[in-house]
Amino acid sequence: MLSFPGLKLSNIDAPSAGSPITVTDEGMLVVPDDPVIPFIEGDGIGPDITRAMKLVVESAVNKAYDGKRQLFFWEVYAGEKCNKMFGNWLIDDTLKAIKYFKVAIKGPLTTPVGEGIRSINVRLRQALELYACIRPVRYFDGVPSPLKEPWKVNMVVFRENMEDVYAGIEWPNGSVDCAKVRNFLTNEMGITLREDVGLGLKPISVFGSKRIMRKALKYAIEQGRSSITIVHKGNIMKYTEGLFRACCYEVAREEFSGLTVIEEEAQQKATSSLPRSKVLVKDRIADAMFQQILLRPEDYDVIVTPNLNGDYLSDAIAATVGGLGIAPGANVGDEVAVFEATHGTAPKYAGMDKVNPTSLILSSVMMLEHIGWKEAAALIIKGIERAIQSRIVTYDLARQMENATEVSCSKYAETICKNM
């Protein structure tokens, strides 16, 4: 048994092979040639797409590095499987493991609507301080799309992950606590509310808003992106989403002044052209932005939003290029990153080896890029592009494509491997 100093687990065994990824004092990843990658297979279709993802990633790493590098996937637990094994939907060992090894990947997890357990996804993000949900959306040639020109879509959404209504601060109607909050608002603040309300808070802080904008701007600059758009509803929620907008602009002006140009200021100066070396910073009202992604997608590059807006918007953008089945995602903090499928658990297809695993496979591409293994990431992209262009795809795409060959989830993964 290998020794991992400082890793103390109560319910699961430590990895039998591999080494941990570490982080320097300056926040830089130090990645060995044999990193341990904790994974949560997920609920419903999770096991099917996780097997497919692992096959593709292991094949790409082997082909890219000829055996000189290897990932060691190590299972940790959350969701239905975790509850059956340990009587808990999320165990401390899982959190400890992800914190220790720094990089993890997960399938979709069940969250009941309206009642039952609190979202495990939200608990993971909050416990691990994964404050940035990052969702890149791009078009793959051959994928059916509702847009006439879907190839114009190439956006990356940075969604603040810790605050807003997703903070989970709410009280059910009829409860004692809800009555206390309602009475305080009525008696102390003069706010009239119906007796049968449910109540929740929408916290948005200066700290959280600046932190997500800072990460989004650094990404835009490093990746040579042309613009960043702040998406908000500050015209109505002036002291929450309005604050978010103001904080984002403050970061751009005060921390990145030499690298950015503000759209409004450029317009006031009647500037006809903008410096290509600078990132254009602009903002749009959330409801108007949904129209913009359909009518003028080429005008938008990096998007930064509060939590709820980002959830809606990233799903909507994914729909323009074929849906959540081909949309990857990551939840990232200052040290830890968890990559995930962006869709749900689709329990009616569980165990059928049927569904499209591309979302999780593309999330693994993000993971490989995150640890600096870009050669392996590029091979996977090539494999996906060729599989789709050859029309050998899973049922969700095959039913929309002419002369397509429908294959299983596992067969699709094998096709990707052959096309690397």
Token pair in block for residue 314: 């990233």
Query: Is there a catalytic annotation at residue 287?
Result: yes
- Taking the C-alpha atoms of residue 265 and residue 213, their distance in angstroms, rounded to an integer, is 19
Q: What are the two backbone dihedrals, phi and then psi, of residue 22, each rounded to the nearest 5 degrees?
A: -125, 170
Q: What is the DSSP letter of 26?
A: T
Contact 234, 244 (CB under 8 A): yes
Token pair in block for residue 101: 């090894």
b/e 93-109 (16+ beta carbons within 10 angstroms → b): bbbbbbbbbbbbbbbbb
Instruction: Pick the catalytic residue from 311, 353, 354, 412.
Output: 311
Instruction: Pick the catalytic residue from 202, 233, 282, 354.
Output: 233
Phi-psi region of 46 (alpha: psi -120 to 50; beta: other; left: phi over 0): alpha
Q: What are the two backbone dihedrals, phi and then psi, of residue 346, each rounded to the nearest 5 degrees?
A: 40, 60
Query: Is there a catalytic annotation at residue 233?
Result: yes
Contact 65, 303 (CB under 8 A): no
Strands 328-332 and 132-138: antiparallel
Instruction: Pick the catalytic residue from 92, 177, 287, 334.
Output: 287
Query: Is there a catalytic annotation at residue 166?
Result: yes
| DSSP code per residue over 41-58 | --STTHHHHHHHHHHHHH
Residues 6+ apart with CB under 8 A from 218: none
Strands 22-23 and 29-30: antiparallel
Q: Which sequence positions are flagged as catalytic?
A: 166, 233, 287, 311
